[in-house]
Amino acid sequence: MSTTPDGPEAPGDEAPRDAWVSGDTDMDPAAFRAAAHAVVDVMADYLERLESYPVLPPVEPGSLRPLFPSEPPEHAEPLEAILADYRRLVEPNATQWQAPGFLAYFGTTASGPGVLGEMLTAVLGQNPMIWRTSPIGTELEMVVVDWLRQALGLPTGFDGLITDTASTSSLISLAAARQAAGVDASARGLPGRDVPELRVYASAEAHSSIDKALMTLGLGRANLIRIETNDRFEMRVDALEAAIAADRAAGRRPIAIVATVGTTSSTSADPVDRIATVAERDGLWLHVDAAYAGALAIVPSRRPAFAGWERADSIVVNPHKWLFAPLDASLLLTRRMAALRETFSLVPEYLRMLDRETPARDFTDFTPQLGRRFRALKLWVLLRAFGLEGLRRRLERHCALAAMFARWVEETPEWELLAPVPFSTVCFRHVPAWTAETGPDAARLVDEHNEAIMAGVNRQGEAFLSHTRLGGAFTIRLSVGNLRTEERHVARAWELLRQEAARLDRERATVRVEKPAAKKAPAVLD
């Protein structure tokens, strides 16, 4: 608060160790400006160097922690030291989700515009928990949610909010389903009362976040009934109806169905329209998990894949998956905002009436968390930066790349697709001729062979693929979801896969000639 003239430190004074965060407050704006420009160069350098890092870093668990001091820093350190350590220790030991060779899981691209949005979000430091704590954070979220609703082709009855993850969006939806079942679990709780088992139905291919929601909500993982799928990995509606009927007959209470459009393993789509008919007839909450694939509904010609989701009670689509928003941002749309509020609001009913007089919205009324990031801001920047037209073009390009890769697999002897390719993800494997001679061990040997192919490709660092099991078989998965992925990256992954398969075949042939016992492919934990 007092100013001192500039000048050399008095001899014997300890030099200020924290000059870039001097004083007893924050960095001053000029120091922040200089530091942030330096950080931007680190960020842009990283994007330039992205392809020079192995996509999956070649490190062992436990090898990184010892690289950092075991005790916290007592004194302030210069920015240069921190940024040097960041480049040396952090960047190369990241799994490179941002690299164009990232073809694993479902991609999460921190697009340039999305990152710019995060920068503004960080410095503005909003907490739109209630309207008053961030009028713009609240109302811009309403704007962006409605923009996304329109972009996805959903009717005006849908309202919603932005949460952190699909796990939270689905948890909120199933909590509302629990509340809508009429037992008032939020107020009264489930134990110590005559409440029957409450059942939720999802396909065998539904995401683990649905299990977690039931665990968290006190409904119990055992009460998630996994419905078998057809040979395209889509929920069988006859089996769903039978399961509901059996539960009712046994005195249990069905409360919700979760339909998935774009399952995690094979990206199959449940028949939402027919499931909606069941849900409506039985009075069950219908939640549609379209966390990955839902983004594609911004392309009108693709909307038939989502037929019936407009009948859902709630829908989750993650902009941080296939709409290129940096983690985290999950869109929860619902036709039943009042049910969400009844589940999570702490405001008594007589106070709620005041809301009718003004359009104020307190988003915390709809969520398990109180504090909230201003996630709508980066989505607003991103949507304007790309435009819907630009986003549609990019999603179509991803689908085209996946279709191209699928064609290569189909047209190549000894390679096969293991599932249809409705979106941008391909499930496939290599079945070499020699496996036909191995009799009862064939299935296991094919699995081990494909596990070894994938591990070999991932070890080389240019591409990162993940796997799943379909019908019990080890399945390699290539998912095009990174904004930066181009044809050359998909082509290179295909080249690496064939090279690795050929190398393993050759190795096996050599081993068979030299030693009768087949060498076991190295086990890979994935």
Site for its own copies, residues 492 to 511, rule: CB under 8 A? none
Whole-number minimum distance, CB 8 to its own copies, in Å?
A: 22
| Residue 288 binds its own copies, judged by CB under 8 A | no
Whole-number minimum distance, CB 429 to its own copies, in Å?
A: 21
| Residue 327 binds its own copies, judged by CB under 8 A | yes
| Residue 27 binds its own copies, judged by CB under 8 A | yes
Q: Which of residues 415-474 bind its own copies (CB under 8 A)?
A: none
Sole residue written with tokens 């920068």: 119
| Residue 246 binds its own copies, judged by CB under 8 A | no
Distance CA 88, CA 98 (A): 18
- Spacing of C-alpha 43 from chain mean position: 23
Q: Show the tokens assigned to 212.
A: 């977690």
Whole-number minimum distance, CB 511 to its own copies, in Å?
A: 28
Q: Which stretch binds its own copies (CB under 8 A): 24-32, 332-340, 409-417, 507-515?
A: 24-32
Question: 197 or 462, CB closer to its own copies?
Answer: 197
Question: 379 or 470, CB closer to its own copies?
Answer: 379
Question: 171 or 276, CB closer to its own copies?
Answer: 171
Determine contact, residues 27/21, Cβ cutoff 8 Å.
yes
Q: Which of 374, 359, 364 is nearest to 344 (CA)?
A: 364
Q: Which of residues 393-422 bind its own copies (CB under 8 A)?
A: 393-394, 397
Q: Which of residues 173-192 bind its own copies (CB under 8 A)?
A: 175, 178, 183, 185-192
Sole residue written with tokens 């070649």: 58
| DSSP helix/strand/coil, 175 | helix
Give the count of residues interacting with its own copies (CB under 8 A): 171
Distance CA 385, CA 20 (A): 33
Q: Which stretch binds its own copies (CB under 8 A): 133-141, 268-276, 282-290, 402-410?
A: 133-141
Q: Which stretch binds its own copies (CB under 8 A): 236-244, 280-288, 372-380, 508-516?
A: 372-380
Question: 449 or 484, CB closer to its own copies?
Answer: 484
Interacting residue with its own copies among 19, 33, 80, 519 (CB under 8 A): 33
Interacting residue with its own copies among 55, 162, 180, 198 (CB under 8 A): 198
Please name the residue ranges forming H helices in 217-262: 237-249
Distance CA 17, CA 518 (A): 62
| Residue 150 binds its own copies, judged by CB under 8 A | yes
Whether residue 328 has a cis bond before it, omega within 30° of 0: yes
- 397-420 in b/e form (b: 16+ CB < 10 A) is bbbebbeebbebbeeeeebebbbb
| Residue 334 binds its own copies, judged by CB under 8 A | no
Sole residue written with tokens 């665990």: 215
* Residue 334, amino acid: T
Q: Which stretch binds its own copies (CB under 8 A): 45-53, 235-243, 270-278, 332-340?
A: 45-53
Q: Which stretch binds its own copies (CB under 8 A): 109-117, 270-278, 309-317, 514-522?
A: 109-117
| Residue 249 binds its own copies, judged by CB under 8 A | no
Sole residue written with tokens 């039978």: 242
Whole-number minimum distance, CB 447 to its own copies, in Å?
A: 17
- 440-461 in b/e form (b: 16+ CB < 10 A) is eeeeebbbbbbbbbbbbbbeeb
Burial class (CB in 10 A: 0-12, 13-18, 19+), 492: middle
Q: Show the tokens assigned to 85.
A: 């350590």
Question: 275 or 381, CB closer to its own copies?
Answer: 381
Using CA atoms of 315, 370, 108, 409 in order, give the dihedral in degrees to the nearest 10.
-40
Q: Which of residues 53-92 bind its own copies (CB under 8 A)?
A: 56-57, 59-62, 64-65, 68, 70-77, 79, 81-82, 86, 89-91
| Residue 348 binds its own copies, judged by CB under 8 A | no
